[in-house]
Amino acid sequence: MSLLTGPGREHLNGHKDETLHNDIVLVKPKKEVFVPLNNGSSTKVDVYVNEGDKVFVGTLLARRNDHFNVPIYSPVSGVVGAKKNMMHSVLKPQEHLIIEDDGKYEKVESFKPLDYTTATHDELVNFMMEAGIVGCGGAGFPSYLKYKKPENINTLIINAVECEPYITADYRFTKESLEDTVLGVKALLKMSTAPKAIVAIKKTKKELIAQLKEAFKTESNIQVFETPDVYPMGWERTLVYEYCKKRYNRLPSEIGIIVNNITTAIAFARSLKYGEGIVEKVVTFSGDGLKNPTNVRVPYGTKVSEVVAQIGGYSSEDVLVIAGGPMMGKTIPTDEFVITNYTNAITILKNNPVEAMECMRCGRCNDACPAGLLPVRINNAEKMKDINWMTQLRADQCIECGLCTYVCPSKIDVTEGVRRAKRALALKKG
Ligand code: SF4
Ligand code: SF4
């Protein structure tokens, strides 16, 4: 059965003004970075450096070498330290490689830059793989796989929707990188083999829409597509449906579409121009648990605690630290974890525990679910540990958007119950 795009779409209070209008602030680690060698799903990582080795920004440190091929480049210059197991934003401890930062940021070219206009399709795909370009919108999926064998692709969708509350990193980064945006989108369009691309962005972002239209005005095959200001419009399925009113089973390529985040296009442009991988990230640090919500540009591998300290600290002693946005992010029980090369947001909220009440069977969570699921029933099945019922209710199709919790008048954390059900099904599958 295909995963339906359910009716659920909500206009949420965006809380974006807290960071939308301010420039990105540069933050550097104080002493060391911790380079994640695993993102929770890698099964084989080859490390090429040893303790004591001198490295530069861009030195190849390691390579994920299982079913994916993803090189890992150093975000700072300095000396390789030990390996350390520490908390990761996937909410599991993972192995990290310590690099003692010498503060000089001396760079090496990680690979030769490439002129995409003369490169062949295969050269571009190999280049993207060597550059280690991953989905920068928070997913971290290796991008080259989307372009490896494009067949009958009719549209490339560049996702600039950024629909979760608080997050403005894509907006600010794109505003400050329009030239790279154009280069990246044109290069991705060539790789996709599609005749046209659209840049999808919420209609409320008037200023950036005008800048993008101006930037692409000579490109007749690249259009700006304005979407409604609802959540989860940035979810691939919702966005694809909004654009062409079509649904798919597993991948949008089944209906001739490839989707990539706009900051992935910018990262790709930088790799083409400068021969560099993703060694730093623009990340929104926002939420009422921070004194000064800020968009930061930071070498990946920097600890969240260090960034928070450098932008002014917490506004409360009791905060929730969320890797990602408040709807889809994961609450991490510590701030001693690092920015990865695909982190787009850290949300810090004051911890105001609310007492959940009895379910009043209002059905709002069911109405809100964009994946067409019945979250309240999945929650009940999970409470009863009834795996068959969880399977019938397709708990594995939950995208963890958080809407069922958001709309619940009884303040029940429905999403958490569905997440547990999803994990139970994944464990059963093995
Ligand atoms: S978190 Fe899952 S179950 Fe809840 S509304 Fe989102 S997709 Fe549906
Ligand atoms: S929204 Fe909350 S109260 Fe209403 S049915 Fe769902 S879980 Fe129950």
Answer whether 364 contacts ligand 2 (Cβ < 6 A).
yes
The Å distance, Cα 361 to ligand 2 centre, comes to: 5
Q: How many CB atoms lie within 10 A of CB 23?
A: 11
What integer pLDDT is reported at residue 139 of this predicted model? 72
**Ligand 1, closest atom to CA 402?**
1
Ligand 1 site residues, Cβ closer than 6 angstroms? 368-371, 373, 375, 398-404, 415, 418
Q: Which helix (H) or strand (E) holds 321?
A: strand 319-323
Q: Do 92 and 84 contact (CB within 8 A), yes or no?
A: no
Q: Do 429 and 395 contact (CB within 8 A), yes or no?
A: no
The Å distance, Cα 198 to ligand 1 centre, comes to: 27
113-164 residue pLDDT tens: 999 999 999 999 999 999 999 987 767 889 999 999 999 999 999 999 998 8
The Å distance, Cα 294 to ligand 1 centre, comes to: 29
**Ligand 2, closest atom to CA 410?**
3
**Ligand 2, closest atom to CA 368?**
1
What integer pLDDT is reported at residue 175 of this predicted model? 96
Ligand number, closest to the Cα atom of 369: 1
Indicate which residue's Cα is closest to atom 1 of ligand 1: 400
Q: Where are the alpha helices (DSSP H) in 71-151?
A: 121-131, 144-147
Give the three-class secondary structure for 373: coil
What integer pLDDT is reported at residue 95 of this predicted model? 94
What integer pLDDT is reported at residue 41 of this predicted model? 75
Indicate which residue's Cα is closest to atom 8 of ligand 2: 359
Torsion of CA 260, 280, 346, 17, to 10 degrees: -80
71-80 residue pLDDT tens: 999 999 999 9
Question: Average pLDDT by consecutive 10-residue portion of the chain (430 residues)?
Answer: 48 85 96 91 88 98 90 98 94 93 97 98 97 84 94 97 94 97 98 98 96 97 96 91 93 96 97 96 97 98 98 96 92 95 95 89 92 94 94 94 92 93 86
**Ligand 2, closest atom to CA 357?**
3
What integer pLDDT is reported at residue 4 of this predicted model? 41
What integer pLDDT is reported at residue 9 of this predicted model? 67
Q: Do 300 and 343 contact (CB within 8 A), yes or no?
A: yes
The Å distance, Cα 164 to ligand 2 centre, comes to: 22
**Ligand 2, closest atom to CA 407?**
1
Ligand number, closest to the Cα atom of 231: 1
Indicate which residue's Cα is closest to atom 6 of ligand 2: 365
Indicate which residue's Cα is closest to atom 5 of ligand 1: 369
Specify the CATH architecture of the domain 121-274. Answer: 3-Layer(aba) Sandwich (3.40)
Residue ranges per structural domain of the chain: 121-274, 364-429
What integer pLDDT is reported at residue 141 of this predicted model? 86
- Full-prediction pTM beyond 0.75? yes
1-11 residue pLDDT tens: 233 445 556 67
Q: Do 185 and 265 contact (CB within 8 A), yes or no?
A: yes
Extract the runs of DSSP E, i.e. beta strands, from 171-275.
196-202, 222-227, 257-261
